[in-house]
Amino acid sequence: MAKLSGKTALVTGASRGIGRAAAFALAEAGAKVFVHYSQAADEAEAVVAEIRGKGGEAEKFKADLSEATGPHQLAAEVAKATKKLDIVVANAGISTAATIEETKVEDFDRQFAVNVRAPFFLVQQLLPVLGDGSSIVLVSSLAARTAVGTLSAYAATKGAIDTLVKHFAFALGGRGIRVNAVAPGIVATDMSNFAKTDAGKEFALGIQAIKRVAQPTDISGAIAFLASDDSQWVTGDTIRVDGGSRL
C-alpha cells in the first residue's frame, strides 16, 4: 500500500547500505526519491535506474558532506529541483574504529563533520523548502547507547544525533515538522564489514535477541514508518532498530 504518494524525499548516502535500502523503501511507498551520493556514482545511478525501472521517480545528487559547504551545495541543488520537500533521511555516515590511544584528530574531526555537522546544516539549509508537516529522519547507532567495539569517537557523533533529534523536534514542531532517528545495531554493510566474518557474526548474535545478522532492509522499514503519517504522533525520539541488541 503506497503511503508516500505525492511526496518527495531526499536520502543522503543512498548509493550503498542502509541509505540505498531506505531509498528503495520510500520509492516503494510511492515517494519521488532524491538519491544523494558522494563517491559511488555508478551505485547511485543503479539505485535511480532500479527505482525508475519499477515505475518510480528518482534523481541523483552528488555532494561531499565532509566539506563544510557540502550540505549547503546539496540543499541548493535540491531547492532547484523541487519547490517542496516532504522527507529528509540524513543517513550518510562514516566510522573509523580506533582505540582511544590510536584516535587521530583528523579522523575525529572527519567523523564529526560527516555524521553531525552535515545533518545539522543540511536541515538548516533545507528549512525553506521543507513543507509544513514534513518528516526528518536522522541515523543514530547502538554505539550511542552502549560500548561496542573501539568506536568512542564515532559513538560520540551518534550521541550528538540523539541530542539534535530532541532539539530539532522541539524547534520545528510548530510547523508540524517531525524529527526522529533510528538507531541500528550491527548491520552487514560496507561500514560493518566485520559482520560478514565468522567472528563478527558470532559477536553480533551474542549481543542480539534475534539470532541473525541484520541487513539494510531490516532498517529501511522503520525509516519509511518514521517518514510516513503512520508515525504522525512520534517526534523527538530515537527508535532502536537492532534486533534487541544489549537489552
Ligand X SMILES: NC(=O)c1ccc[n+]([C@@H]2O[C@H](COP(=O)([O-])OP(=O)(O)OC[C@H]3O[C@@H](n4cnc5c(N)ncnc54)[C@H](OP(=O)(O)O)[C@@H]3O)[C@@H](O)[C@H]2O)c1
Residues found near ligand X in the complex (CB under 6 A): 13, 15-19, 37-40, 64-66, 91-95, 114, 139, 141, 184, 186-187, 189-192
Sign of the C-alpha dihedral computed for residues 177, 189, 156 and 112 taken in this order: negative
**For ligand X, which is the closer residue by CB, 56 or 70?**
70
Residues 6+ apart with CB under 8 A from 118: 12, 65, 66, 70, 71, 90, 92
**For ligand X, which is the closer residue by CB, 190 or 198?**
190
Instruction: Verify whether residue 154 is a known catalytic residue.
Output: yes
Give one DSSP letter per residue of 77-128, joined into a string.
HHHHH-S-EEEEEE---------TTT--HHHHHHHHIIIIIHHHHHHHHHTT
Q: How far is the CB of 56 from ligand X (least distance, A)?
A: 19
Q: How far is the CB of 5 from ligand X (least distance, A)?
A: 26
Q: How far is the CB of 65 from ligand X (least distance, A)?
A: 3
* CB 244, CB 46: distance < 8 Å: no
Given 154, 155, 164, 183, which residue is catalytic? Answer: 154
How many other C-beta atoms can be found within 10 angstroms of the C-beta atom of residue 77? 16
**H helical segments located in 117-216:** 118-126, 152-172, 198-207
**For ligand X, which is the closer residue by CB, 81 or 94?**
94
**For ligand X, which is the closer residue by CB, 4 or 187?**
187
Q: How far is the CB of 73 from ligand X (least distance, A)?
A: 11
Distance of CA 10 to the CA centre of its chain: 10
Active site members: 154
